[in-house]
Amino acid sequence: MAGELKEKVGVLALQGGFAAHVSALRALGAVVREVRTPDDLACVTRLVLPGGESSTQLKLLHSTGLYMAIKDFAAAGYPLFGTCAGAILMARDVRDPEQDSLNILDIEVSRNAWGRQVNSFEADSDGTLGDRGRSHLVFIRAPRICRIGSSVEVLLHYHDEAVLVRKGVHWASTFHPELTSDPVALKVWLQKTKS
């Protein structure tokens, strides 16, 4: 392996469901590093933004200097995957309530639009991702994607609504792939964004 640059997947580890993402990605064979600072980010070639509380994560992104560092990382073409709160952070516009974001994907999201914690639910996607079967979807206080810009492609629907979208190497899901035994969305993202 001498001279070979090993691809490392970063998982933003400031708040929320980062540990489950670390385990899921390791189970898929990825080399993973938790990211808490811009220096951590400089050591990875992809980044996952986990679920959690997007307003808290946003504050922590600013206080750690990761807000600008992640925007630069994404603009440089390093792949991002945002889960739930992560998708909210990646959106261009956020409402219910309105909040600032990283503006990486041209989508508008409505926070908690699938219901509060007690309304969390599991379901199967309408269609399939690649040659895989329907994806099992876990929604926890999930946002709804209420506007999709022309640069953004929808990869999965549930009840005719977009739940997994991407612009090139930047993917965002309103469900939690890391909480299922077969996290197809993360697996396909890893495969398709291999450098």
Nearer to ligand GLN, 41 or 49 (CB): 49
3-state SS assignment for residue 135? strand
Nearer to ligand GLN, 46 or 111 (CB): 111
Selected binder of ligand GLN within 41, 137, 140, 190 (CB under 6 A): 140
CA–CA–CA angle 19, 22, 23 (5° rounding): 90
Q: Quick one: which of 180, 189, 178, 185 has its CA closest to 163?
A: 185
Q: Does 164 bind ligand GLN (CB under 6 A)?
A: no
Q: Does 179 bind ligand GLN (CB under 6 A)?
A: no
Contact region for ligand GLN (CB under 6 A) — 36-44, 62-70, 82-90, 156-164? 82-90
Give Cα 3 distance to the centre of its chain. Answer: 30
Nearer to ligand GLN, 4 or 98 (CB): 98
Give Cα 189 distance to the centre of its chain. Answer: 10
Considering just the CA atoms, what is the radius of gyration of the chain in Å? 15
Identify whether 176 is a catalytic site residue.
yes
Which residues are the active-site residues? 84, 176, 178
